[in-house]
Structure 1
Amino acid sequence: MEIFKSPVGNKISCKGWQQEGLLRLLLNCLNPDIAKNPKELEAYGGTGKVARDINSLKAIIKALKTLENDETLLIQSGKPVGIFRTFEFAPRVIMAGALVVPRWASWDYFRELVRKGLTAYGQSTAGSWAYIGTQGILQGTWETFSQVAKRHFGGSLRGRLVLTSGLGEMGSAQPIAITANGGAAIVVDVDRAVVKKRLISSMIDIMASSLEEACDMAKEYVKKSEPVSIGVIANAADAYETLVSYHITPDVVTDQTPAHDLKSYIPSGLSPDEARELRENNPLKYEKLAQDSVRRHVRAMIEFKKRGSVVFDYGNNLREQGYRVGVKDAFCFPGFASGYIRSLFCEGRGPFRWVALSGDPEDIYRTDEIILSIFKGDRRLKEWIDFVERRFAFHGLPARVCWLNYKERSVFGNIINEMVKLGELKAPVAITRDHMDAAAVASPFRETEAMQDGSDAVADWPVLNALLNCASGASLVGLYHGGGVGIGYSIHSGVTVIADGSEEARKRLDLVLKADPALGVIRYADAGYDIAKDIIKSPVFPAKAVE
């Protein structure tokens, strides 16, 4: 199998930097340093793929290299289907991924379509070629645990024990985020290779030989109020039940196993290799075992809540899976978005990210200096940049994530474009975001859970978001289904703009980076949130709200 890595430097193989930037992002998603399973084109999140199959991937690469500056490539669930003459300011790539008519939007039906070669699951940023490894989710995780600390523990997790599970591509951000907020973390994962990988890459501090040892070590660090992250090899359901039986009550309990898809959730009693074999040879038995483990997993979390732990679902649809297998009070604890992130969405603040297409970390460090000088009054932003520069090593193309609001994104995006124009950066920069953004997602068990007006499942907003970003001149726009929580549970959109230093890029950035987050503020104002309603009345708000 060919190893895919993004080209670097300032020489291009496409007919323009808009195409070249997207090509580099696509290949970066398959970089072995960050991708879950590049041989199967899977970037992260269970089976999140960047292309439907190897032939589709090769066809996409060929199409991007020959795409003219007034043409648009269409991608249907990871497969290129046509190149159309549009105009220079149009998106170079438009995607739709994993969309299924609602009546048929179930995992069983979707997998049948996959077997027939008709679709592919793109998760969120895998399908939109914006996956950048742990660095992509790290600040969102940091923000979440920061909000937990503020809400429940006076602003810090020092002297607090956090229990969680899942050290995969998304979950691996948890130990760093917890220790950055001062906490002691026990992080459970059933895959020895994954735990060792996180230890080698310094994502965790210690690898315990047993759950008992992990508990003993954590107790000492909690007593000293010192931060630490301890990885332990165990099944999550088993480990959570064991701690319940030991009468150990963590201060905080959550989870990031791939529960959105029970075919990716490893049941109790199986190693990853045994799970893979059973999944292929007896999928019905596998699903039954997974359901049994999820039932125990959720019930243990509920018991922790009864004993006083702060418990929340970290967006993997674990509560719904528990409810479906008979845990009727599975929703007695909140999801992370409604519990801790909602107020940020109301002001159009979300996971803005930029990627140095040069491959040179110095380009990111230079932009760090600029963002700190522009927003020097933002103490949290300074804390974040200082922390991530000290603690996190780049994987694949160097990238950074900051939760910027609707005003800050366009200001910073245009400065990056000017830096490229003046040669202050070694190559153009891709500006993109996670799909977990204010207007970009409808996900009733995650981002849009418990909306004030009951609009949890209204999916017009991500569709409008994608259409608006096309009209605003984004480089890539896509609309997708099922990211984060699985097929049937979400609709979401992605967007990327390549800052190549040109006047055209300046116009693209100015329009997209105002429209994209501003629609999020309108979405929350429409839902009745006072913070958002006040913002849209501002004379500097970049859209006219219609009343």
Structure 2
Amino acid sequence: MSSLQALCSGLPLRPLPENQGRWAGVPHAPVRTPGLSPAEEQLALRNALRYFPPDVQELLAPEFAQELRLYGHIYMYRFCPHIEMRAYPIEQYPCRTRAAAAIMHMIMNNLDPAVAQFPQELVTYGGNGQVFSNWAQFWLMMSYLSQMTEEQTLVMYSGHSLGLFPSSPGAPRLVITNGMVIPNYSSRTEYEKLFAIGVTMYGQMTAGSYCYIGPQGIVHGTVLTVLNAGRRYLGVEDLAGKVFVTSGLGGMSGAQAKAAAIVGCIGVIAEVDKAALMKRHQQGWLMEVTDSLDKCIERLREARRKKEVLSLGYHGNVVDLWERLVHELDTTGELLVDLGSDQTSCHNPFNGGYYPVQLGFSEAQSLMASDPATFKGLVQESLRRQVSAINRLAKENFFFWDYGNAFLLEAQRAGADVEKKGAKRTEFRYPSYVQHIMGDIFSQGFGPFRWVCTSGDPQDLAVTDQLATSVLEEAIAGGVNPAVKLQYVDNIRWIREAAKHQLVVGSQARILYSDQKGRVAIAVAFNQAIAQGKIKAPVVLSRDHHDVSGTDSPFRETSNIYDGSAFCADMAVQNFVGDAFRGATWVALHNGGGVGWGEVINGGFGLMLDGTQEAEQKAKMMLSWDVSNGVARRCWSGNRKAYEIICQTMRENKGLVVTLPHEVADERLLQQALGP
């Protein structure tokens, strides 16, 4: 068993650790099929060996070559550390700066087996969301962080530590870029090769920026989505007896079961991987499980009749479940589902993100590696069948939305009937949850703000929960508009439910959808509590990249941008740069995330509060920019709610001056000017 001190001492070379290969009893990433040429295989091996001195290369070369040919990537399993991987209290890390220790705390949380989807392959969530590309990169970064001073910045290129560079105390301590590939070469096929040869990495959103907080992060978003879907589609506040059907219990999708319980509906979630399903059941996130479709339908009917709160995991393929629901409708006339979505990792459909209904789980994994072309054909056929069943149910009083996982995009590419007549390029027959459900929230500046108590003490988290609740209650008492009040009330309910439902997995963290005012006020309250000793150690502020300003993603976060700029990435890049010089402790910019490689540019940050006045000033400056940037962009695109919010923000902050759009007063002018 290694110690934290040993973990920060650089790669263990003399002696080399024993190569224990892939561990039994933990889930592993699917075999990758990058299709490297012999010359590219040599390049991959050369790139891996450059982390090691010549005297060990002869031993490691055949070992790494075998990994490349067996698994499609060199993970360097020999160097997977023998330590309990978890978020240790910040004071235990051997560092020269607290900021470096806070970053270590976050990295080790992302690799905690209770949190990570495939911990030995350094995948946190989403099937391929890497923290690092290989274990040498992990050891190297931990060593650099332990050495780093307040006058250095660590630069990361897609998992690789380029080095420590002189900088100022006010600069970020860490700057991360993941997957920054030249646009013409940013295809999925090119990515597989570039990742295999070890020169780029898919960091998802918060995997490669070290800001993932376990499935709790998406529980809150799913709670808000399902609540607002009930309001919008069903016209109800109370979801008792309503049925929500979806799929996926692996990484982030594991949140769906807990969200169903919190909102009080009946959630039926299909999952093909029994290990993932049982993990959620053992964690208490999934109330019941069955591998019988008959029993699943029987239990659904019973819960619906009794208006029970239920999260039911079906061990099987979701296509079978959708087709059975169609069968029940056609034979009995009974519609057994009210709301539906999908959270398979469809951004990565041909490498383990989506399993075709025609094959069992093990068969699919085998075919995926041995015959990728046939596997792809089966996936696309399965997508067509799934959409066909959903389309039949949607003719009744059933509502489906895309959860931003590229499900409808991949279904369209597979030839499924998802077209919407007269639609814009980013629209399908069914809406993205951003377009119809969450879009107004982003336009008002609300998004997934989060924090981590680096002491690791649950009592510190309880204090932050109390402080955040008080801030929101005071804001309501001071008077806010009805739309903002509704979000604040939902958030207060969330904090109370989160504590009751024991949502912490990994680090002592909380997520809260908040607007600019709320984020700043909460940050100030936390910082003062640290200064007063009410919170025992620094608190790291962060957010999901899936936020107001952090992500340009035409099929998700910016799918409701209609001025033609949905495919432009200025907002996310500007956000990354602006956060860096306004006080962020670290910043990250990624290609890919959510809907997949080449489909999105997104960025995030970490900001450490340590109780100092300097930390408070950084929080006020950086958090204000981090929200206003996106609201201003949405305003310029023509969004009325964003227009109102940014105008209000300008009135409250005289230093903020935003260009406002003028509407075309008479639409006939356009036709007249362009007419024949």
Does the TM-score normalized on the shorter chain lie above 0.5?
yes
Structure 2 residue identity aligned to 1:296: R
Which position in structure 1 is the counterpart of 2:468? Answer: 371
The answer to whether the 8 A contact 2:159-2:178 is kept is yes
Aligned equivalents of 2:505, 2:159: Cα separation in 1? 24
Q: How does 1:185-196 map to 2 (within 5 A)?
A: 185-196=267-278
Whether 1:436 and 2:510 are equivalent positions in the alignment is no
Report the Cα offset of residue 458 of structure 1.
1.6
**What residue in structure 2 maps to residue 390 of structure 1?**
500
Per the TM alignment, residue 328 of structure 1 is displaced from its structure 2 partner at its CA by 4.1
Question: In 1, distance between residues paired with 2:491 and 2:411?
Answer: 37
Equivalent of residue 503 in structure 1, options 599, 607, 613: 613
Assess if the C-alpha contact under 8 Å between 1:10 and 1:426 holds in 2.
no
Partner of 2:283: 201
Matched ranges for 1:338-349 at <5 A: 338-349=435-446
Contact 1:515 1:543 (8 Å CA) reproduced: no
Provide the aligned C-alpha RMSD in A. 1.5
1:333 to 430, 446, 464: 430
Does residue 299 of structure 1 match 2:388? yes
Instruction: Assess if the C-alpha contact under 8 Å between 2:303 and 2:309 holds in 1.
Output: yes
Moved more, 531-540 or 141-150: 531-540
Change (3 A) 1:12 1:507: farther
Give 1:146-295 correspondences, 5 Å limit: 146-153=227-234, 154-247=236-329, 249=335, 250-262=337-349, 263-264=351-352, 265-295=354-384
The yes-or-no answer on 1:481 pairing with 2:563 is: no
Q: Is the 8 A contact 2:270 2:315 kept in 1?
A: yes
Q: What CA distance in whole angstroms lies between the structure 1 residues aligned with 2:429 and 2:196? A: 37
Structure 1 residue 203 displacement after superposition: 0.9
Runs of at least 5 residues in structure 1 that lack an aligned partner in the other structure: none
SS of residue paired to 1:536: helix
Residue number in structure 1 paired with 2:570? 460
Structure 2: where are the runs of 5+ without partners?
1-79, 420-427, 477-487, 661-676
* 1:346 and 1:524 in contact (8 A); partners too: yes
Q: What amino acid maps onto 1:544 in structure 2?
A: V
For 2:506 and 2:229, the matched residues in 1 are separated by 31
Any idea what SS the aligned residue of 1:437 has? coil
- Comparing 518-527 with 271-280, greater Cα deviation is found at 271-280
d(CA) in 2 for partners of 1:498 and 1:271? 46
- Contact 2:636–2:659 (Cα < 8 Å) also in 1: no
User: Is this contact kept in 2: 1:89–1:504, CA < 8 A?
Assistant: no
- For residues 70 and 107 of structure 1, the distance between their equivalents in structure 2, rounded to whole angstroms, comes to 38
For residues 444-471 of structure 1, the C-alpha deviation after alignment (integer angstroms, 9 at most, x for no partner) is: 1111113232322121100010011011
Q: What is the CA–CA distance in structure 1 between the aligned matches of 2:152 and 2:348, rounded to whole Å?
A: 37
Shift in Å, 1:202: 1.3
- Which deviates further from its counterpart, 266-275 or 395-404? 266-275
Q: Which amino acid aligns with 1:151?
A: R
Matched with 1:119 is: 200
Mapped to 2, the partners of 1:450 and 1:536 lie a distance apart of: 18
Higher relative CO (Cα under 8 Å, sequence separation at least 6) belongs to: 1
Q: Give 1:298 shift.
A: 2.2
The secondary structure found in structure 2 opposite 1:256 is coil
Alignment of 1:322 onto 2:322: no
TM-score when normalising by structure 1: 0.97
Output the CA distance in 1 between the equivalents of 2:575 and 2:174. 16
Paired with 2:233 and 2:503, the residues of 1 have a C-alpha distance of: 31
* 2:455 paired residue number: 358
* SS of the residue 2:557 aligns to: coil
Shift of 1:314: 0.8
Larger deviation: 118-127 or 177-186? 177-186
Deviation of 1:11 (Å) = 4.1
8 Å CA contact 1:444–1:457 kept in 2: the answer is yes
- The aligned counterpart of 2:672 is none
What percentage of aligned pairs have identical amino acids? Answer: 32
Task: State how far apart, in whole Å, the 2-side matches of 1:97 and 1:162 are.
Answer: 35
- Supply the distance in 1 between the matched residues of 2:328 and 2:417 (Cα, whole angstroms): 25
Which residue is equivalent to 1:27? 108
Q: Is the 8 A contact 1:9 1:426 kept in 2?
A: no
Q: Is the 8 A contact 2:583 2:618 kept in 1?
A: yes
Aligned to 1:244, what secondary structure does the other structure show?
helix
Q: 1:172, CA displacement in angstroms?
A: 1.4
Correspondence for 2:157: 76
Deviation by residue 1:263-322 (Cα, 9 ceiling, x = unmatched): 121222434333333222222222222222122222222222123311101111011111
Q: 2:120 aligns with which of 21, 39, 44?
A: 39
> What letter matches 1:136 in structure 2?
G
Indicate conservation of the 8 Å contact 2:384/2:417, yes or no: no
Q: Deviations over 1:39-59 (max 9, x none)?
A: 000000011011121111111
TM-score computed with the length of structure 2 as normaliser: 0.79
Contact 1:157–1:178 (Cα < 8 Å) also in 2: no
Alignment match, 2:669: none
The amino acid across from 1:59 in the alignment is L
Q: 2 CA distance for matches of 1:115 and 1:11? A: 35
Please name the residue that 1:402 is paired with: 512
Other-structure match for 1:60:
141
| 1:9 CA displacement | 5.0
Counterpart for residue 556 of structure 2: 446
State the number of aligned residues: 547
Larger mean CA deviation between 217-226 and 120-129 belongs to 217-226
**C-alpha distance in 2, partners of 1:529/1:152?**
22
Shift of 1:241: 1.8
Q: Among 414, 420, 443, which residue is 2:530 paired with?
A: 420
Report the Cα distance in structure 2 between the residues aligned to 1:319 and 1:47, rounded to whole angstroms: 20
CA contact (8 A) 1:311 1:333 kept: yes
Q: Once structures 1 and 2 are overlaid, which stretch shifts more, 240-249 or 147-156?
A: 240-249
Contact 1:438 1:523 in 2 (8 A): no
- Given the alignment of the two structures, is residue 106 of structure 1 paired with residue 218 of structure 2, yes or no? no
Of the two, which has the highest radius of gyration? Answer: 2
Residues 298 and 318, structure 1, Cα contact 8 Å, conserved in 2 = no
Aligned to 1:332, what secondary structure does the other structure show?
coil
Residue of structure 1 in register with 2:20 after alignment: none
